[in-house]
Structure 1
Amino acid sequence: MEKRKFGKTGLETSILGFGGFHLLEIPADEAEYLLNRYLDQGGNYIETAASYGNGESERKIGRVVSRRRNEFILATKTGERTKKGCLDSLDRSLKNLDTDWVDLLIMHGVGTIEELDAILGPGGAIEGVQQAQKEGKVRFVGISMHGQPDVLIEALKRYPFDAVMTTINYYDRFNFPEIEDVLVPLAMEKQVAIILMKPIADGFLWRSAPMAFRYAMSQPVSVVVTGINTREMLEEDLRYANEFVPLAEEEKEEIFKNAIELGNYVCRQCSKCLPCPEGINIPEIFKLEGYYDRQMRDGVVRDPAEFALRDRLRFWFGNDKMARERYSQLDVKADRCTKCGQCMTRCPYNIDIIKKLHIADYKLGNKEIF
């Protein structure tokens, strides 16, 4: 399996990483089989979190760690923001994992600047990490966040993290464009390892998994981490890694144009719809709609299973309040549209921009009906 540099740490990670959340769904013996099979096939990055089942995922991984600890890179996460909380959480994780150290401790789900301030401030979790590093319990430190990446961007500017974990897939490419446009280049500039999570967008891209994994593995990331809970899934994921061929730019454009999940609703942020005679910043409004609900509620009637999946995932990252606040600050909102149709003739993806502006205004403007 292909190995990649893990930032400036001197480590190398397999292109496919094993995420531990979905180990909660299966018995310990089956989890042990999957983890051993993954390691036997050349995988070397296993990741979990203290909060996954209140330590259950860590304990299942610990059954493997105790026998094969030197064969892989082990990462866990803490949601604690204080020095004491971080150290206490780490000690519980080490006990659960049946090991004396982890290679990477990730500050888990840092969603606000206030949380970042607490982590980096006096008595914050970073002080706990630094103490743990001196004691040999932690080698490197990372930070993660779901969705809109402003906090991660600020974090990399303020502290020399060794790794950053973020959502990257061809669907959310257009809901959170700053991830690939700003965060990834910044991490590369600072030689921070990039851990890619959610390659199939929380399961939304299940029909297109081979293409989704190829897109993810074509990014300039150190490792693509995915949850695995069946033998069939593991073998498929191993095949994606072992048969990986990077996408050419024209192939990426083909995905952006024709992917069924993007369809003729999700804005590709190409800005060809501009200028608007009313001064509406159409791409910006659709970007805020991406923050709001990942552009998943589109007014199309679907079968119950598809509707349930979309409804479950649309507010997955909790950016809806932020999106509405930013929309309220726009001088020209979507309801200024006069339906002149000039934008419609310019869109290369056949999006009904007039209808979409109406739906976006309903969502972001907190309207009662659309």
Structure 2
Amino acid sequence: MQHRVLGRTGLEVSVIGFGGIPIQRITEQEAVTLVNGALDRGINFFDTARGYTDSEAKLGLVLKQRRQEAIIATKSMARSKEGMAADIQKSLTALGVDYIDLYQCHNVKDRESLAQIVSPNGALVALKEAQSKGIIGHIGITGHIQELLVEALKTGEFATVQFPFNAVETEAKELLDLAHQTNTAIIVMKPLAGGALRNARLALGYLLEQPVTTIIPGMDSLQQIEENALLGNEWTPLKEEEWVVLKEETEKLGQAFCRRCEYCKPCPQGIDIPTVFLLEGYYSRYDLKDWAKERYKDLEAKADACIACGQCEEKCPYSLPIRQMLSDSAGILADG
């Protein structure tokens, strides 16, 4: 397995990592087989989160036994010092370890959240205290809005940044350049565009040609582990005919694909449009049906609250048919 240095952390991580979302839908025994298989094939970077139900616990079944072979990353939506401190302890307990290599501020999507995190009583204080105690190694940030992540990196507080980047979502020059200048590691989530890209070998191969550190596709079968690990071991640049195939696939995704830029917000009816589409993707592409529907239930305004005013479509830089997409999502995610 090829390795790259995780920015200024100095950690050497496999170019193909393990994304911890799909492991939620398999049994504990299947998870044990999967994680052991990943480690045996040279995958050493494992990313999970407090919000991924039992993902931390399932990874921990193996990682606590093979701790020296793994670099563990997890993350929390907590924004306050108290909340983050509590989540760090919960992560340690769930994983069954006494040390986490990378702890990330998860899904930072507005300036208010970032300001709260770096405030005198914010999550960053708890992370630094945990770092000084030796229970976490490094601090990172994740999100979908590149402008906000650029602001975060300019603070100098984050050693890694994780965001969606793939053959569809390619607009990342400013963030990539700043990460390079500051020696901040790039962790790529959604490398298959949330499962929309079906040719994993070409989609991941495309990313391996980019200035990123590690790519974390979600995997829930040994076949996926074997194929992705093989790519990380024997990767060579895409051939011209492979570029053609990949381009054809990305073009087929066409208009009906949300990049989660959030320019459509705010919705007059209070609908969190990108989150609706994200949950629909988990339902349809990741087969996390129950998980997605439960989270959809928690939304204050559901997709069927749309009154088809069209303001969102006027603001969407990708000209998505958002009204129709909301209607479709409502039909998929609603009970019944």
- Tell me the TM-score range normalised by the shorter chain: 0.7 to 0.9
- 1:23 and 1:60 in contact (8 A); partners too: yes
**Number of matched residues?**
291
1:91, 1:133 → 2: CA distance?
Answer: 13
Residue matched to 2:173: 181
Q: Decide whether the 8 Å contact of 1:17 with 1:44 is kept in 2.
A: yes
CA distance in 2 between partners of 1:287 and 1:183 (Å):
16
Match of 2:159 in 1: 162
In 1: Cα distance, 2:72 partner to 2:9 partner: 14
* Aligned: 1:245 with 2:236: yes
- Give the TM-score normalised by structure 1: 0.70
Q: Report what 2:123 is aligned to.
A: 125
Structure 2 residue aligned with 1:261:
250
Paired amino acid for 2:120:
P
1:68 has 2:66 as partner: yes
Q: Write the letter of the residue equivalent to 1:183.
A: L
Q: Match of 1:352?
A: none
2:223 aligned with 1:213, yes or no?
no
**In structure 1, distance between residues paired with 2:66 and 2:259:** 45
The CA deviation at 1:289 is: 9.2
Larger radius of gyration: 1
Instruction: Label 1:84 to 1:235 Cα distance change in 2 as closer, same or farther (>3 A).
Output: same
**1:122 to 1:77, Cα distance in 2 relative to 1, 3 A:** same
The structure-2 alpha-carbon separation of the partners of 1:260 and 1:326, relative to structure 1 and needing over 3 Å to count, comes to closer
Question: Could you tell me how far 1:260 is from its partner in structure 2?
Answer: 2.5
**Structure 1: stretches of 5+ with no match in the other structure:** 267-285, 298-307, 331-355, 365-370
Secondary structure, counterpart of 1:139 in structure 2? strand
Partner of 1:142: 140
Change (3 A) 1:255 1:192: farther
The alpha carbon displacement at 1:288 in A equals 10
Q: Please list the CA deviations of residues 207-243 of structure 1 after superposition, one character each: whole Å capped at 9, or x if unmatched.
A: x221101012211111110111112221121122122
State the 1:159 CA deviation.
3.1
Aligned residue for 1:232?
A: 223
Query: Over residues 294-331 of structure 1, what are the superposed CA-to-partner deviations in whole Å (9 max), with x where a residue is unaligned?
Result: 9xx9xxxxxxxxxx66xx99xx9xxx99x95795699x
Q: Indicate which of 193, 198, 202 corresponds to 2:185.
A: 193
CA–CA separation in structure 1 for the residues paired with 2:253 and 2:191: 22
The aligned residue for residue 84 of structure 2 is 86
Is residue 167–residue 196 contact of structure 1 (8 Å, CA) maintained in 2? Answer: yes
Shift of 1:254: 4.2
Matched AA of 1:97: L
Match of 2:329 in 1: none
How far 1:290 sits from its partner (Å)? Answer: 9.4
| Kept in 2: contact 1:289–1:363 (CA 8 A) | no
Cα distance in 2 for partners of 1:25, 1:4 equals: 30
1:16 partnered with 2:8: no
List alignment gaps of at least 5 residues for structure 2: 265-272, 278-283, 297-302, 324-336
What is aligned with 2:38?
Answer: 38
Question: For the residues of structure 1 that align with 2:231 and 2:74, how far apart are their CA atoms?
Answer: 25
The whole-number CA distance in structure 1 between the counterparts of 2:91 and 2:316 is: 43
Query: Match for 1:74: what amino acid?
Result: I
Q: Is the 8 A contact 2:17 2:217 kept in 1?
A: yes
Q: Give the secondary-structure state (helix, strand or coil) at the position aligned to 1:262.
A: helix
**Deviations 1:85-139 (Å, cap 9, x if unpaired)?**
0010000110111111100001000011100000001100000011001111111
Partner of 1:343: none
Contact kept? 1:288, 1:327, Cα under 8 Å: no
Counterpart amino acid of residue 153 in structure 1:
V
Are residues 361 and 137 of structure 1, via their aligned partners in 2, closer, same or farther at CA, if it must alter by over 3 Å? closer
Query: Cα gap change, 1:328/1:132 in structure 2, threshold over 3 Å: closer, same or farther?
Result: same
* CA shift in 2, pair 1:264/1:111, >3 Å: closer
SS in 1 for 2:216: strand
1:203 aligns with 2:195: yes
The match for 1:274 is: none
CA distance in structure 1 between the partners assigned to 2:96 and 2:156 by the alignment:
30
